[in-house]
C-alpha cells in the first residue's frame, strides 16, 4: 500500500491565501451558528445526566485518536496520509452531526451537548491529540522503517492552539452570548445563519477543490478505502463503546454519529496555516485525506441515519 501512496506525498495543491481566509471565515460562521443553538440547559442536562455525555466525550476525544493510531499501524500508509488521519481524528465533531442525529432518531439534546463540549474542548484536545499521537507515529515509523525519513513532530502547538481558538473558540463564545442575551433575535436569525454559513462553506470548499479538481480526481481513489475504513472505525467506536456502557438505544446512535462526523474543515484550515505547517512541507496526502473525509462522512452519516430512521428505538 505504501508504494502506491507515495505519489500523494509530492502532490502540490493550489490554495490561494484569499481562499483560505474565506474558508476560515466560513468555518467561523458555521461555529457561530452552531453556538446559537446551544443553550445553558444543554450543559445543565450534562450535569443532571452525565453518563451519556461522558461516554460520548471519551469516545471522541480519547478512543478515536487512539484507535486511529492503531489503524495507521495496521494499514501502514505513507507518513502524510498517516498524519492526515491523525489530524482528522484530533478534530472535534462536524457541524452537521446535530442534523444527522435528528434524522437518525437519536438524542438531539445529547448531540447538541456533545457538539458544545467537543468544540469547546478542541482548543486543548486538538493540538494535544495531534502532537501526542503524531509523535508516537513518527517514533514508531523511524524505529521500524528501513530509512528514518521524519524528524520529531515540530508543530508549533501554541500557534495551533491560537488558530483553533480563533476559528472555534471565539465564534462559539460570541454565539453563546448572543443566544442567551438576545433569545428573540436568535430565534429569527439562527436558521438563515446556519443554512447560509453551511452553503457558504460548501461553496468555498468546492471553489478551492475546483482549482485542484484534476489532481483530486486523479488521486482520490488511492485514499477512498482508507477513509472508508477510518470513518467506519469512528462510527463503530462510538456505537459499540456506548453499547458496552449500556447507554439507551437513541444515545448509542448519537454517540456513534458524534464520533463519526469530524470537523475536517478545521483540519484543512490548520494544515494550510503556514505558521503551523510550513509551506515547504509536502502536504498533498494530508489534504486529500481531509478533503475526502469532508465528503464521505456526510454520505456515510446520512446513509446510516436513513437506515436508523426506519428502525425502532429499543427500550
Dihedral sign from CA coordinates of 229, 92, 5, 201 = positive
Task: Give the relative orientation of helices 79-90 and 264-271 as an angle to the nearest 10 degrees.
Answer: 130
The pLDDT, as a whole number, for residue 125 is 92
Q: Is residue 245 part of a domain?
A: yes
The pLDDT, as a whole number, for residue 11 is 56
What 8-state DSSP symbol labels residue 91?
S
The pLDDT, as a whole number, for residue 139 is 84
* Residue 93 in this model has a pLDDT that exceeds 80: yes
Name, in order, each residue with C-beta under 8 angstroms of 7's C-beta and a sequence gap of 6 or more: 219, 222
* pLDDT, mean of residues 176-188: 86
| Cross-strand partners of 93 | 262
* pLDDT, mean of residues 25-47: 74
CATH for 58: 1.20.1530.20
Q: How far apart, in whole angstroms, are the C-alpha atoms of residue 40 and residue 145?
A: 50
* pLDDT, mean of residues 189-195: 79
The pLDDT, as a whole number, for residue 151 is 55
| Cross-strand partners of 138 | none
57 φ, ψ (degrees, to nearest 5):
-70, -40
Domain count, the chain: 1
What 8-state DSSP symbol labels residue 165?
I
Q: Is residue 314 part of a domain?
A: no
* Residue 281 in this model has a pLDDT that exceeds 70: no
The least confident of 78-87, 179-188, 235-244, 263-272 is 263-272
Q: Is residue 263 part of a domain?
A: yes
Q: Is residue 229 part of a domain?
A: yes
* pLDDT, mean of residues 41-48: 70
Cα-based distances in Å from 314 to 205, 209, 249, 286, 302: 39, 42, 6, 40, 21
The least confident of 3-12, 97-106, 170-179 is 3-12
The pLDDT, as a whole number, for residue 249 is 92
Contact 95, 297 (CB under 8 A): no
pLDDT digits (tens, 9 = 90+) for 140-153: 888 876 555 555 55
DSSP characters over 33-65: HHHHT--HHHHHHHHHSHHHHHHHHHIIIIIHH
Q: How far apart, in whole angstroms, are the C-alpha atoms of residue 15 and residue 26?
A: 15
* pLDDT, mean of residues 102-109: 84
Catalogue the E-assigned strands of the chain.
Answer: none
Contact 158, 196 (CB under 8 A): no
Task: List the domain range (segments joined by +) for residue 247.
Answer: 2-8+17-309
The pLDDT, as a whole number, for residue 145 is 65
The pLDDT, as a whole number, for residue 273 is 75
What is this structure's pTM?
Answer: 0.83
pLDDT digits (tens, 9 = 90+) for 217-252: 667 777 889 999 999 999 999 999 999 999 999 999
* pLDDT, mean of residues 274-280: 69
Q: Is residue 315 part of a domain?
A: no
Q: Is residue 267 part of a domain?
A: yes
Q: Is residue 212 part of a domain?
A: yes
* More confident call, 103 vs 90: 90
Q: Is residue 44 part of a domain?
A: yes
39 φ, ψ (degrees, to nearest 5):
-115, 160
Q: How far apart, in whole angstroms, are the C-alpha atoms of residue 37 and residue 226?
A: 33
The mean pLDDT of the chain is 81
The pLDDT, as a whole number, for residue 204 is 65
Contact 141, 99 (CB under 8 A): no
Amino acid at each position: 500500500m505504501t508504494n502506491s501512496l507515495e505519489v500523494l506525498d509530492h502532490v502540490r495543491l493550489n490554495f490561494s491565501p484569499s481562499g483560505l481566509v474565506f474558508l476560515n471565515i466560513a468555518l467561523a460562521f458555521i461555529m457561530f451558528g452552531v453556538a446559537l443553538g446551544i443553550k445553558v440547559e444543554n450543559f445543565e442536562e450534562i450535569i443532571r445526566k452525565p453518563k451519556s455525555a461522558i461516554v460520548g466525550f471519551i469516545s471522541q476525544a480519547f478512543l478515536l485518536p487512539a484507535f486511529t493510531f492503531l489503524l495507521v499501524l495496521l494499514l501502514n500508509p505513507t507518513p502524510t496520509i498517516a498524519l492526515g488521519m491523525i489530524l482528522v481524528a484530533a478534530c472535534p465533531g462536524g457541524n452537521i452531526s446535530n442534523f444527522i442525529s435528528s434524522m437518525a432518531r437519536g438524542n438531539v439534546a445529547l448531540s447538541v451537548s456533545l457538539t458544545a463540549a467537543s468544540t469547546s474542548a478542541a482548543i486543548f484536545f486538538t493540538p494535544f491529540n495531534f502532537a501526542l499521537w503524531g509523535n508516537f507515529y513518527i517514533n514508531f515509523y523511524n524505529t521500524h522503517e528501513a530509512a528514518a525519513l521524519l524528524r520529531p513532530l515540530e508543530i508549533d502547538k501554541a500557534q495551533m492552539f491560537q488558530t483553533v481558538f480563533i476559528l472555534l473558540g471565539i465564534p462559539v463564545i460570541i454565539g453563546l452570548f448572543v443566544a442567551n442575551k438576545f433569545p428573540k433575535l436568535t430565534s429569527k436569525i439562527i436558521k438563515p445563519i446556519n443554512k447560509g454559513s453551511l452553503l457558504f462553506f460548501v461553496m468555498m470548499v468546492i471553489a478551492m477543490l475546483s482549482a485542484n479538481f484534476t489532481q483530486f480526481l486523479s488521486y482520490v481513489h488511492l485514499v477512498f478505502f482508507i477513509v472508508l475504513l477510518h470513518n467506519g472505525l469512528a462510527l463503530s467506536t462510538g456505537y459499540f463503546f456506548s453499547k458496552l456502557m449500556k447507554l439507551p438505544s437513541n444515545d448509542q446512535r448519537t454517540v456513534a454519529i458524534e464520533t463519526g462526523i469530524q470537523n475536517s474543515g478545521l483540519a484543512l484550515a490548520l494544515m494550510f496555516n503556514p505558521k503551523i505547517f510550513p509551506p515547504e512541507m509536502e502536504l498533498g496526502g494530508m489534504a486529500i485525506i481531509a478533503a475526502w473525509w469532508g465528503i464521505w462522512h456526510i454520505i456515510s452519516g446520512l446513509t446510516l441515519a436513513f437506515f436508523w430512521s426506519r428502525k425502532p428505538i429499543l427500550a
